[in-house]
Amino acid sequence: MLSLIGFLTIIIIVVLLLRGKVIPIIPLVIIPIIAAFAAGFGLADIGGFFEDGLSSVVNVAIMFIFAILYFGIMQSVGLFNPLINKMIQLTRGNIITISLGTVVIAAIAQLDGSGASTFLITIPALLPLYQRMKMNPYLLLLLISGSAAIMNMLPWAGPLGRAASVLDMNVTELWRPLIPIQVIGMVLMLILAFYLGFREKKRIERRYGTIEYKLDEEMKVEDEKSITSTPLFWLNVILTLLVIGVLVWGVIPAGFAFMIGVSIALPLNYRTADEQNNIVKNHAGSALTMGTIILGAGAFLGILTGTGMLDSIALDTVKVIPQAIAPHIHLILGFFGMPFDLLLSTDAYYFALLPVAEQIGLTFGISSLATTYAMIVGNIVGTFISPFSPALWLALGLAGLEMGKHIRYSFLWLWGISIVLLIVSFLFGLI
């Protein structure tokens, strides 16, 4: 019964997010509360679950609010304009080259293993370029999400660390056989970027005509009024590099780093209190919207975790698998790894589903490593397509996009890459 209620809760929330008829905080808060009551929990229990869930996301919410404010200020003062113009010059307005470059930039940014920092680095810099080129911003999010997810196989990223702790083995040893899979995954992402870039180029030409000449003319005007010659521009560059450096270094919480950045950027660029208030008001809507969504997601995760629904879903999923296909449980779970991202958090997937699947696999002679690799490869490409991913909510806030539309745009492409990588892993003997 607990699994059934949990399944229905998640399905209803995902459907509401996909339809886009209500803002995310409404289903994230209301539906889990109704589910908890239906499961027999009282108001006091739900309040405790809420506090537990809130404590897990409050730092993330603070980071989202001040990160969006900070990058909003930087965009308003034109910090990214020279970079955008330079990239357009280098690509000559070539949509395909921009798409390929997005995959490479996201992969480099994800080297620190943090999805949040990857989105913070890539989206504010690349989104204005996509807007200038009339490119679909959901393509930007798809390419960054897929590239970063494949790089998320790194040993210092979350998924492998969780899997290694379940198997009680060295995470580096678990990672080494996955290196060829990562390389092939990145090649697949570049192929996908080439195809989708080509398709996007045709769409833009049909709707807007050829835009390269217009951009060249626009850049000439902007070059004459370049802001890079002002000391203030370079002070903003230094400040942004320092904030990102502190973020990657991890010496202080990310939210605190952006809070400091906002506190410096405001008086640096705006001299009066009225000007500072106005620029904050301009970007406060996006910042507060994302803050409320993250707090709502905290309530959602807290209730589903505290009631035991997530663990129950993971345990009961493997129990209902028919005995005839149980010897292939690792391949089945790997194949459906991406859809599981819409139903389970990363912790539930690796700490609840993986141990049960491993034990069932062992009874049929499937090694623990084979089960683990199948579940990692099948699931990890969809890391940043799940409503359970706080980093993805940050990306949506930075880009001003909707979760439902992102899932509709990206899901099948990324699931296709996941399935191909699963087949490659099988051919390589990993599974």
Domain match, 305 and 292 both: no
pLDDT of residue 213: 40
- Helix H, strand E, coil C: the string for 103-138 is HHHHHHHHHHCCHHHHHHHHHHHHHHHHHHCCCCHH
Domain match, 102 and 14 both: no
Count CB neighbours of 184 within 10 A: 17
- The upper half-sphere exposure of residue 330, i.e. CA atoms within 13 Å in the direction of its Cβ, equals 27
* The domain boundary residue, chosen from 296, 319, 350: 296
Distance CA 371, CA 430 (A): 9
Is 186 strand, coil or helix?
Answer: helix
137 alpha-carbon distance from chain centroid:
14
Domain match, 132 and 211 both: yes
333 lies in a domain?
yes
pLDDT of residue 239: 94
Domain match, 125 and 199 both: yes
Domain match, 390 and 369 both: yes
Q: Dig out the tokens for 148 from the structure.
A: 């970063």
pLDDT of residue 365: 82
92 lies in a domain?
yes
110 lies in a domain?
yes
Domain match, 129 and 90 both: yes
Contact yes or no for 330/369 (Cβ under 8 A): no
Count of the separate structural domains present in the chain: 2
pLDDT of residue 10: 81
Distances 222 to 78, 84, 91, 132, 304 between C-alpha atoms, Å = 11, 11, 17, 13, 52
* The domain boundary residue, chosen from 279, 296, 313: 296
Per-residue tens of pLDDT for the chain, all 431 residues: 888 998 898 888 878 877 777 888 898 899 999 999 999 999 999 999 999 888 877 887 887 788 888 888 887 888 877 776 676 667 667 899 999 989 988 888 887 677 877 888 889 888 988 988 889 999 999 999 999 999 988 877 778 877 887 777 777 888 889 999 999 999 999 999 999 999 999 999 888 776 654 445 454 444 545 666 678 889 999 999 998 888 767 788 878 988 999 999 999 999 999 999 999 998 888 788 778 877 887 888 889 889 988 788 777 876 777 777 777 888 988 999 888 878 777 777 876 678 777 877 887 788 889 999 999 999 999 889 888 888 898 899 889 899 889 999 999 999 999 999 999 999 999 88
Q: Quote the domain boundaries for residue 267.
A: 58-155+185-296
The CA R_g of the chain, rounded to the nearest whole Å, is 23
pLDDT of residue 211: 60
Distance CA 66, CA 74 (A): 12
